């Protein structure tokens, strides 16, 4: 199967690198099962199958992340995306994936310069009053350099690494093929739907390669949060921004990660935690477009207890219907409303996949564990983690947009608690929930919804004559056919057909025995072993048919069990 991938010679070298790294970290069996070893050997590649002794001291999650780090940007990003799938992986895996923070060496300035000249339309030193050719920060897809405009404004240039797109596209082709093979080679992975995971990841990574798209995300979020004066979003300088370059305002302050490590009396941590959570809840519940990576490194603490948000490469989107479902779920969780929690979860799961009774009992027990706790005692991050663990135990997976949202809320709760030990996201979310639910139940809103639904109903009724007319024409033209699928009835029909066949064979055997007995009474016929020949042959045939019938009955009974 892997030979189809090898037909593209451009991917052969990369495939060899992947195989070697997998083997180095103790996944030689996976290489064999995926068919990569035999394919590479036929291509003339030599693989060494010696695993380092230190592997015995490493747990599987740590070994997997080591593989991803060695394989580079695409696989690091894959690990970061898998860190959002709290519905698929246990805490030890999520913790391992979260450590993949794109900490890679910067490309040399000489490598970046040709692309940078093309993007800027000239030499960096001509465009900017000051420009640092030393990277300020470096990630797997891009790296950041500081500069100063001729107007005196400080900016940062996020520059995409040269030739990164070509390598990522090769990796995505291989990942797509490997996901197909893994689904067949590892049946236990089918519930994770590797093909869909790789498809979603490919879409996300291609968006992240487009730095112009990231600029649009920043501007959209800035517009949505303009009513929050304490939230600062960097300004984008579009005259120099493109798919490979992002020039934005430099937000100078203390990163929240540094604030956690040291005390700073000038900054109110409680205030920072509150306004940060408030902004995210607004993005999620009101706008449906949110910053999906709110870790400490992306939060800048500014004077006068203001907060800056940076890095909008990973964003989440929620439709109006999905936001309504989230509001129902969060409100039901806060109010300990088991039936409503179960109803919302059932709406998210594929039909026929859920054992409703078992899930309802577990959800009821889960909520009972939190019963009687005040808001201050309620750890919302732990509550969501426990809920996702229940889904994982039932082998249920969330839709991709919800998995990203759950991870964002869990991360937000953790960040808030690190800044403020008394932080409680429920206290931040409750006003939003009550306001949205209150607006929804206002008489004027309900009246408008009623009018809208009445108009839709009127449209359906108005279209009925044409629909009925078309149906009648269709029946006249091609007849009327009803297809009913009833698996149990099909099984019953199969059993009935098998029973009829057995009865028929039994009647044939009986007739053969009776006929043989009659033939045996005829005089002057050849003998065989002292017995009438025709009678002897007839009895032998009857015995063989009888044995075949008994075997058939035995096998059928065994299959039915």
**pLDDT tens for residues 355-382?**
777 777 888 888 777 766 665 666 777 7
What's the N-to-C CA distance of the chain in angstroms? Answer: 36
Which segments in the chain show pLDDT lower than 70? 1-12, 33-57, 101-104, 188, 191, 263-265, 350-354, 371-378, 440-450, 452-453, 475-536, 539, 545, 549-561
- β-bridge mates for residue 528, sequence order: 531
Cα–Cα distance measured from residue 341 to residue 48, given in angstroms and rounded to the nearest whole number: 53
How far, in Å, CA of 164 to CA of 73, rounded?
8
Which are the contacts of 105, defined by CB distance < 8 A and separation ≥ 6? 138
Q: Two tokens at 288?
A: 């449906």
What does the alpha-carbon distance between residue 232 and residue 224 come to, in Å, rounded to a whole number? 12
What is the pTM (predicted TM-score) of this model?
0.68
Closest CA to 158 of 250, 69, 81: 250
pLDDT digits (tens, 9 = 90+) for 256-276: 888 777 766 678 888 888 999
Q: Is 134 strand, coil or helix?
A: coil
- What 8-state DSSP symbol labels residue 52? P
pLDDT of residue 2: 47
The CA-atom distances, in angstroms, between 342 and each of 45, 349, 384, 511 are 54, 11, 14, 63
Amino acid 232: pLDDT: 94
**Domain positions in the chain:** 1-57, 105-138+141-250, 316-441, 450-474, 487-560
pLDDT for res 152: 92
Nearest to 72 by CA among 145, 175, 195, 144: 175
Q: Which element (helix H / strand E) includes 527?
A: strand 527-528
Tokens of 94: 């999520």
Query: Residue 155: which H helix or E strand, with range?
Result: strand 154-160
Give me the pLDDT at residue 1, please. Answer: 45
Non-local (6+) Cβ contacts of 356 within 8 A are: 342, 346
Tell how strand 154-160 and strand 245-249 pair up.
Answer: antiparallel
- Give helix 400-419 / helix 425-440 axis angle, nearest 10°: 130
Whether residue 380 contacts residue 426, with contact meaning beta carbons closer than 8 Å, is answered with: yes
Q: Are 284 and 404 in contact (CB under 8 A)?
A: no
Q: Using CA atoms, how far apart are residues 517 and 262, in angstroms rounded to an integer? A: 105
> Is residue 19 within 8 Å of 6, Cβ to Cβ?
no
The two structure tokens encoding residue 443 = 């008489």
pLDDT at 5: 44
pLDDT at 555: 64
Decide if 35 contacts 2 (C-beta within 8 A): yes
Q: Output the pLDDT for position 308.
A: 92
* CA gap 141, 107 in Å, rounded: 11
């Amino acid at each position: 199967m892997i030979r189809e991938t090898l037909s593209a010679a451009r991917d052969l070298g990369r495939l060899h690198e992947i195989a070697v790294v997998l083997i180095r970290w103790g996944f030689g069996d996976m290489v064999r099962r995926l068919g990569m070893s035999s394919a590479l050997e036929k291509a003339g590649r030599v693989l060494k199958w010696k695993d380092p002794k230190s592997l015995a001291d490493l747990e599987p999650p740590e070994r997997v992340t080591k593989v991803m780090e060695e394989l580079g940007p695409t696989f690091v990003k894959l690990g970061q995306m898998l860190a959002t799938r709290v519905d698929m992986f246990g805490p030890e895996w999520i913790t391992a994936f979260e450590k993949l923070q794109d900490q890679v060496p910067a490309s040399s300035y000489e490598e970046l310069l040709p692309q940078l000249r093309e993007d800027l339309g000239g030499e960096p030193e001509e465009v900017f009053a000051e420009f640092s050719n030393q990277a300020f920060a470096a990630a797997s897809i891009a790296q950041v350099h500081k500069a100063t405009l001729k107007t005196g404004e400080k900016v940062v240039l996020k520059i995409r690494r040269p030739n990164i797109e070509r390598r990522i596209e090769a990796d995505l082709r291989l990942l797509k093929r490997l996901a197909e093979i893994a689904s067949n080679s590892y049946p236990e992975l089918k519930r994770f739907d590797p093909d869909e995971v790789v498809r979603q990841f490919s879409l996300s990574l291609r968006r992240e390669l487009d730095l112009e798209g990231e600029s649009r995300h920043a501007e959209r979020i800035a517009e949505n949060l303009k009513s929050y004066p304490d939230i600062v979003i960097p300004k984008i300088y579009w005259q120099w921004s493109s798919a490979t370059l992002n020039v934005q305002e430099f937000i100078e302050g203390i990163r929240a990660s540094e604030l956690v490590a040291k005390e700073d009396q000038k900054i109110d941590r409680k205030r920072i935690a509150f306004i940060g959570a408030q902004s995210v809840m607004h993005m999620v519940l009101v706008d449906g477009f949110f910053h999906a990576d709110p870790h400490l490194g992306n939060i800048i603490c500014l004077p006068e207890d203001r907060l800056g948000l940076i890095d909008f490469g990973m964003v989440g989107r929620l439709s109006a219907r999905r936001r309504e479902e989230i509001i129902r779920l969060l409100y039901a969780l806060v109010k300990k409303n088991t039936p409503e929690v179960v109803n919302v979860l059932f709406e998210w799961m594929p039909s026929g996949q859920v054992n409703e009774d078992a899930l309802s009992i577990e959800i009821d027990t889960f909520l009972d564990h939190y019963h009687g706790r005040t808001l201050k005692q309620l750890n919302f991050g732990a509550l969501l983690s426990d809920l996702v663990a229940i889904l994982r135990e039932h082998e249920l997976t969330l839709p991709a947009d919800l998995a990203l949202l759950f991870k964002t809320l869990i991360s937000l709760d953790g960040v808030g608690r690190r800044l403020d030990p008394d932080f409680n996201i429920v206290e931040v979310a409750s006003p939003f929930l009550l306001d949205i639910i209150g607006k929804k139940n206002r008489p004027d809103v309900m009246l408008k919804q009623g009018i809208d639904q009445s108009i839709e109903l009127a449209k359906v009724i108005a279209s009925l004559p044409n629909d009925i007319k078309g149906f009648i024409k269709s029946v006249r033209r091609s007849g009327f056919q009803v297809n009913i699928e009833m698996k149990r009835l099909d099984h019953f029909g199969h059993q009935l057909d098998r029973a009829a066949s057995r009865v028929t064979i039994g009647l044939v055997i009986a007739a053969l025995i009776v006929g043989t007995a009659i033939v045996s009474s005829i005089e002057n016929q050849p003998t065989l072993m002292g017995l009438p020949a025709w009678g002897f042959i007839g009895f032998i045939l009857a015995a063989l048919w009888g044995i075949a019938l008994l075997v058939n009955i035995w096998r059928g009974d065994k299959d039915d069990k």
